[in-house]
Structure 1
Amino acid sequence: MDTIKAIPAYQRIKNAILDNIHSGKWQAGNAISTEMALAEEFGVSRMTVNRALKELSEERVLERRQGSGTFVAQQQFNHTFVEVRNIAQDLKSANRDYQAKVVSKRGITAAMLNDELRRKFGLEKAIKSSELKDATDIRSIKNLDSEAAVLYEVKIIHFADGQPIQFEERWVDALKVPEFIEQDFSVVNTSDYLIAKSPLERGSYTIRALAAPDEIAALLQITAQSPTLVLCRQTYSAGQVLTFVKMWHAGERYQFSGEL
């Protein structure tokens, strides 16, 4: 994608460390490679490695012990603490035919962010890239007005027996899951993919009844202003918001239920 720049070196190091933790190569309490070893492996300065380790320590993924090294923090980052419902599995378990159609997907730059996304992802007001020392260093200022994508956006219609039942609007931290936008979400479920790449540790959600705007009504094949159930959810990984999603459900075709 044209708008996505190369991932900064410190972020590549962070991603590699997280991959080793999530794959089980480095367990909780294990020492990770030294700064010198990581610098040689990635062909960067120790200062760059230090930044990656410092950020992961602040995110409580790693624990740095003076004179001993850096260790995987004693937390279960390889488990999911948030139950995230998968509509594909729910429909298939109910013996209904399931299909997904991707309406759109794109990278969103800092300049394209609206107030809601800035607030959800903790992104401050975008500043001009000319004011930055390093225009590729997105996460240090969190909002850089450049051509680099800070979020990925996907919009998907989920069908049950050929009838649209849910419209999903999802935004994902582009630096935490850089390959997200490359997936075929007519085959891969978004929640399953995110859990596999960055296990979720907590989340929050709301469910509201809203009249369907024209665009949503057209996608769900219902009359404009018909009732819909809208689930908004944000989930966290390593202490930060990983994804925010809005799921619009045709009110007459969907209900939420559970056991007490």
Structure 2
Amino acid sequence: MQKGQAESLSGHIPAYIQVASALRRRIETGEWLPGEKISTLEELEEEFQRARVTVRQAVGLLEKEGLLKRQQGRGTFVAEQVNDRRWLTLETSWSAIIRSIKRNVPRFIEVANPPSHPRLAPDEGKLAEEYGFLRSLQLRDGLPYAVVNVHIEKGIFDKYYDEFMEHTALAVFDTLRGTVVKRAHQTMTIGTADPEVANLLGVSLSAPIAECRCVVTSKDDVVIYVGEITYPSDCIRLHMDLLEDETSASSEVELSSPKPRRRSKKAA
């Protein structure tokens, strides 16, 4: 069973990942139905113009994901029950983001030489004099699903250090008394996993990843928070209601709540 014209494969992503992505898309869109026998290795090799070992790796990856089942002497079939692996919806509003991460508990990773400042684009705001830096691994059901790098303006970082050690940083920002946020925006790009991220998330080197970047600025346009969150691309989806009423992008968000705690001695 050979499909028509092969999907275009290009870029620096390993060939087997590209082939696996194309095959995964056929399953997710219903082009290959549950229980259906897929193309043979020979047919896929010819279609994608890739070596047999590359095609075999791609099929093997989808077998590990539970999307394909190999039957001895019969071929390879789409699994009867195909679970939706994209369980994590990327939120598009402040309140929804806070709601989705509020109960997360970060597992912090020690960084020998943390970057002193975040990278900023010209239109993202002004750098603060100093920042605190945190790197953590986020888990779901005991399994890692995100690597998070966070820069926080040093005054806020020191004042609420204990809160940042117990909760995700944005959830803390949502409860800070007297802090006024002028702007908060999030962008997403698609990249590939470097060796460290691949090891932390348990994915293949150069596997597709989604990189979300959240920037929060104060009233005087100083950047008080930069969060860079890396997800395996096969667990996320972006959903937007295109007819939902728009809110003013320039509106200010006033954050409120707990009193600062004294920084613990062990964290000095």
- Which structure: larger Rg? 2
User: TM-score by structure 1 length?
Assistant: 0.48
User: TM-score by structure 2 length?
Assistant: 0.46
